[in-house]
Amino acid sequence: MATIVLSAAGAALGGSVGGSFLGLSASVLGRAAGATLGRVIDARILGAGSPAVETGRIDRFRLTGASEGAPIADVHGRVRVSGQVIWATRFREDVTVSGGGGKGAPSRPKVKEYSYSVSLAVALCKGEITRVGRIWADGTEISKTDLNLRVYPGSEDQLPDPKIEAVEGAGLAPAYRGTAYVVIEDLQLGPFGNRVPQFSFEVMRTGEGDLSDLVEAVAVIPGTGEYALSTTPVHFQEAPGRVRSANVNTPSGLTDFETSLDALSEELPNCTSASLIVSWFGTDLRCGSCEVAPRV
C-alpha cells in the first residue's frame, strides 16, 4: 500500500517541478523514488527484514514456599499440605522459531516463542506416609498423570532421587530419609503463566496398628449406579456442544471405578479380598418371559 501511495505522490511532486534528467522526466524520477521508499516501508510492516517477534520471555523467576528454617509438618490421617520447596534446578529456557521467508512464499516475520521448565522437590511432612492423593495447582485440582511425579514416602531406607543425583553429582544428593517428599521433573510452566504455581497435596498417613492396616477385605457396594462399575469411559451428548460424562468425574481421566480401586489399593495395603455387590434385575414384566440376572 505504501508503494502505491508514495509512487503516486512522487510522480505528482516530480510533475509539479518539471524538467528532465538523462532523458527521464521529473515525473518518472519522482515515481521511482516514491516507489522505492514505499517498498522499504511495506517490507518493514509486512515482515521482510523486520526483527523477530519475541513472545513469552521473562527476566526473573520466584520460587514458592522456599523458606529457610521452616518447620516440617507432622500430620496424621488425611491432610492437605502445601509443603516446602527443598531443591530446584535452574530454569530451562527453550526457544521455538517460526515464520520467516521461504521459496515462493510471502515474507513473514520471525516469531521466537519462549517456554520454560523446572524440576523441583517439595517436602510434605515428617515420617512415612501411605500415599499422595489429589494435587492442586493454584487451587485447581490437576491430574497426577499431567506431572512427571515421583513420591518418596519418607522411609528410613529410601534412596536419593535420580534427577537430584544427576544434577548434584553421584554421592552428593541427599535422600531426605524420614521426610516424605515429591519430585516433579521438567514441570512445564506455560500453563501457569511462566511461573511455579502454588502446589498443595492431599497426604495420607497412618500409624502402626491403625485401622487401615487391619482391614483385609472390603465390600464394593455401588452396584446400582449408572455405569458405576464400568472401566470404559461413557459420555452422553445432551445437546450440540454439550457432553455429559456418566462415570468420569475426576481430573485423573480414569473412570470412577478405576480411580476408587487405585485409592483402595494404596490406602488399604493389607486388603487382599473384595466382595463385589451387584444388583439383579428382571428383563420383562411377564413372569414367563422374565429373566433375572445381574445388570445395570
Residue 210 lies in a domain: no
Residue 72 lies in a domain: yes
Percentage of the chain modeled with pLDDT above 90: 28
pTM for this model (two decimals): 0.65
Are 157 and 181 in the same domain? Answer: yes
**3-state SS record for 79-126:** EEECCEEEEECCCEEEEEEECCCECCECCCCCEEEEEEEEEEEEEEEE
Q: Which of 14-28, 32-46, 74-88, 102-116 has the lowest mean pLDDT?
A: 14-28
Residue 61 has pLDDT above 60, yes or no: no
Are 62 and 167 in the same domain? Answer: yes
Give 53's strand partners. 111
- pLDDT, tens digit, 9 for 90 and up, residues 120-177: 999 999 988 988 999 999 888 998 888 999 999 999 999 999 999 999 998 899 999 9
Are 133 and 32 in the same domain? Answer: no
Are 82 and 16 in the same domain? Answer: no
How many domains is the chain partitioned into structurally? 3
Are 125 and 201 in the same domain? Answer: yes
Decide which of 42 and 275 is more confident: 275
Residue 244 lies in a domain: yes
Name the residue range of residue 27's domain: 2-46
Are 144 and 192 in the same domain? Answer: yes
Of 41, 33, 1, 38, nearest in space to 17 by CA: 33
Question: What is the spatial distance between Cα 84 and Cα 80, in angstroms, rounded to a whole number?
Answer: 13
Question: What is the spatial distance between Cα 140 and Cα 84, in angstroms, rounded to a whole number?
Answer: 19
Query: Of the candidates 205, 238, 262, which is a domain's last residue?
Result: 205
Kindly write down the DSSP assignment for every residue of 169-184, as one continuous string. -TT-S---TTEEEEEE
Residue 215: CA count within 13 A, CB half-sphere: 15
Q: In this structure, how many other beta carbons lie within 10 angstroms of the beta carbon of residue 175?
A: 16
Residue 63 lies in a domain: yes
- pLDDT, tens digit, 9 for 90 and up, residues 209-226: 678 888 999 998 876 677
Are 171 and 234 in the same domain? Answer: no
